[in-house]
């Protein structure tokens, strides 16, 4: 049976926290994937109170973390140390990293290697960075070759984001579902899943499952029966997770 993850941010202690506790008690999901906003160690104690398994997601470019650029190495290490505290205290199974924007994939691999983090997973990205949201053009880790480089040099695992793989395939004029299947050759430890408003777009939209153009049945045929899958769909309410419940039902049908 799939193990489903709820994506939350470390700042969400006043929203979703109580609802997440209730839904976990009802077996709606199996773990929390917690994105660590920098400088939020003050929230750690609240997250520790939950008797829920965790995966931790390192901050990414929107919060200044960029493994692909050498000049960011000192800042990146500082951010990682905070993430490591969260991961250690929450007994996180994995820590997910983005490869960065522009720069060099070998720099990404070397910086990740220097963390000596045995729980590290590199996540694949779209080829083209989101316009107006990221001060850069190209994402590192957008293709199979770059993910292989990071895996081999940093000796880390892999998180396959299906939405990102589809966006990258579109940028490279490749068949989207065949490209997703190719990524499986890298033996991902876990997965990210959302729907997409436009399945031919180079940009993802994080729609609820069934609200976009994704052939979910085709994706499900690619997934191992015991796959860890974080549902990274948007949240329509700040008070409840009703939309997330719908997503879990959709994937488990």
Question: Could you tell me the mean pLDDT of each successive run of 10 residues in the chain, 253 residues long?
Answer: 97 93 97 98 97 97 94 98 99 98 97 99 94 74 98 99 98 98 98 96 92 96 97 91 96 89
Q: Half-sphere exposure of residue 121, counting CA atoms within 13 Å on the CB side?
A: 24
Tokens of 21: 């506790």
CATH architecture under which domain 3-252 falls? Alpha-Beta Barrel (3.20)
Per DSSP, which regions of 94-224 are E strands? 95-98, 120-123, 157-161, 190-193
H or E stretch including 251?
A: helix 242-252
Per DSSP, which regions of 101-176 are E strands? 120-123, 157-161
pLDDT recorded at residue 136: 62
pLDDT recorded at residue 175: 98
Tokens of 22: 């209730």
CA atoms of 127 and 147, how far apart (whole Å): 12
pLDDT recorded at residue 238: 83
pLDDT recorded at residue 135: 58
pLDDT recorded at residue 117: 99
Q: Are 165 and 142 in contact (CB under 8 A)?
A: no
pLDDT recorded at residue 132: 61
For 155-165, write each residue's pLDDT tens digit: 999 999 999 99
pLDDT recorded at residue 133: 58
What is the β-pairing status of strands 95-98 and 54-57? parallel
pLDDT recorded at residue 130: 78
Per DSSP, which regions of the chain are E strands? 3-9, 31-35, 54-57, 95-98, 120-123, 157-161, 190-193, 228-231
CA atoms of 245 and 237, how far apart (whole Å): 12
Tokens of 70: 């050498």
pLDDT recorded at residue 239: 81
pLDDT recorded at residue 245: 97
pLDDT recorded at residue 129: 87
For 120-143, write each residue's pLDDT tens digit: 999 999 999 877 655 568 999 999
Nearest C-alpha neighbor of 227 from the set 184, 196, 175, 178: 184
Q: Give the residue extent of every domain in the chain.
A: 3-252
């Amino acid at each position: 049976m799939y193990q489903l993850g709820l994506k939350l941010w470390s700042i969400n202690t006043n929203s979703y926290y109580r609802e997440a506790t209730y839904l976990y008690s009802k077996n709606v999901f199996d773990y929390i994937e917690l994105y660590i906003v920098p400088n939020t160690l003050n929230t750690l104690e609240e997250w520790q109170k939950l008797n829920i398994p965790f995966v931790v997601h390192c901050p990414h470019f929107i919060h200044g973390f960029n493994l692909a650029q050498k000049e960011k190495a000192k800042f990146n290490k500082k951010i990682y140390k905070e993430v490591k505290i969260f991961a250690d205290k929450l007994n996180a199974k994995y820590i997910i990293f983005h490869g960065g924007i522009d720069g060099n994939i070998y720099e990404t691999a070397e910086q990740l290697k220097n963390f000596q983090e045995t729980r590290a997973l590199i996540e694949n990205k779209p080829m083209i960075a989101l316009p107006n949201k990221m001060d850069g053009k190209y994402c590192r880790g957008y293709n199979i070759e770059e993910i292989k480089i990071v895996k081999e040099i940093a000796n880390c695992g892999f998180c396959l984001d299906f939405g990102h793989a589809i966006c990258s395939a579109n940028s490279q004029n490749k068949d989207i579902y065949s490209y997703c299947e190719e990524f499986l050759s890298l033996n991902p430890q876990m997965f990210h899943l959302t729907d997409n408003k436009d399945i031919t777009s180079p940009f993802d939209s994080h729609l609820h499952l069934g609200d976009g153009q994704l052939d979910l049945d085709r994706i499900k045929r690619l997934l191992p029966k015991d796959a860890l899958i974080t549902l990274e769909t948007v949240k329509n309410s700040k008070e409840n997770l009703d939309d997330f419940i719908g997503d879990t039902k959709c994937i488990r049908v």
